[in-house]
């Protein structure tokens, strides 16, 4: 179905997701044109996806649809907050949901701005059905990857918080590439004590190798890593 085909008009938010769909990806459609919303809804449902429709960014933000897995299909120009405004808002709030932009008036600067800000795709209406479905599949894959990475980071943060202040320092020194003798000198402790702390760090961080430990360290938020660099008083 081409998105320029006339459809039944509706302005109320609508979701096809069942109550037990928490783990299923949902394609969120935000467009002020009811004809486009209807056409997009039918296409997304026909491709086997769950979906939710909104006529404005405010309608979307007033609900909890953004908590779901999946992606966003956004119109660029809408009354009130635009799709680009919503993209900026989500980035500031830490929401990494992938975005596909649709517009009837594309220009190169706007496209560059959206893509640099992390959009998965930027498509011009009317868009071919398969082109949009391919973009949705790519966006959902990106969302799954980001959520998996986020889950790993959260686990590493939880493990990191079990370390003592001295173990934080030892981990920081290990991440810098320092060997036990150098760490002992830097921290003013014995090499035996360094080995003890290092063993505790490996165990608490559930790292089977130094490589795994470094990857866990690099996944931590910058503020945690920076705090570990401060000397223990």
Domain ranges of the chain: 14-147, 161-228
**CB–CB of 198/213 below 8 Å?**
no
| Length of the chain measured in residues | 233
101 vs 230: CA distance, rounded Å: 44
pTM: predicted TM-score of the whole model, two decimal places: 0.72
Each residue's pLDDT, cut to its tens digit, for the chain (233 residues) gives: 444 333 334 445 555 555 544 578 999 999 999 999 999 999 999 999 999 999 999 999 998 899 889 999 998 888 888 888 999 999 999 888 999 998 887 677 778 888 888 889 999 888 999 999 999 999 999 999 999 999 999 999 999 999 999 999 999 999 999 999 999 999 999 999 999 999 999 999 999 999 999 999 999 999 888 888 766 54
Q: For domain 14-147, which architecture applies?
A: 3-Layer(aba) Sandwich (3.40)
Going 170 to 176 to 181 to 184, the CA torsion angle's sign is negative
**Residue 19: other Cβ atoms inside 10 A:** 5
Q: In Å, how far are 1, 126, 129 from 4, measured between CA atoms?
A: 9, 6, 11
Report the distance separating Cα 14 and Cα 208, nearest Å.
48
Per CATH, is 161-228 categorized as 1.10.10.10? Answer: yes
Q: What does the CA dihedral 213, 158, 95, 25 come to, rounded to 10 degrees?
A: 90
């Amino acid at each position: 179905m081409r998105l320029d085909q006339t459809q039944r008009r509706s302005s109320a938010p609508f979701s096809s997701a069942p109550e037990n769909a928490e783990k299923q990806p949902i394609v969120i459609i935000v467009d002020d044109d009811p004809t486009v919303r209807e056409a997009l809804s039918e296409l997304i449902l026909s491709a086997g996806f769950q979906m939710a429709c909104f006529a404005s960014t405010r309608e979307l933000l007033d609900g909890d649809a953004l908590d779901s897995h999946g992606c966003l299909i956004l119109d660029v120009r809408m009354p009130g907050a635009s799709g680009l405004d919503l993209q900026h808002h989500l980035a500031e709030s830490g929401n990494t949901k992938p975005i596909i932009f649709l517009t009837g008036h594309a220009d190169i600067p706007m496209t560059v701005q959206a893509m640099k800000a992390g959009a998965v795709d930027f498509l011009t209406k009317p868009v071919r059905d398969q082109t949009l479905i391919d973009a949705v599949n790519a966006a959902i894959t990106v969302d799954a990857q980001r959520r998996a990475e986020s889950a790993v980071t959260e686990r590493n943060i939880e493990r990191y918080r079990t370390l003592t202040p001295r173990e934080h320092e030892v981990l920081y020194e290990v991440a810098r590439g320092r060997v036990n003798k150098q760490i002992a000198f830097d921290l003013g402790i014995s090499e035996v004590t360094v080995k003890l702390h290092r063993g505790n760090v490996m165990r608490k961080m559930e790292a089977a190798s130094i490589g795994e430990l470094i990857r866990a360290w690099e996944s931590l938020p910058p503020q945690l890593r920076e705090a570990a660099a401060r000397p223990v008083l």
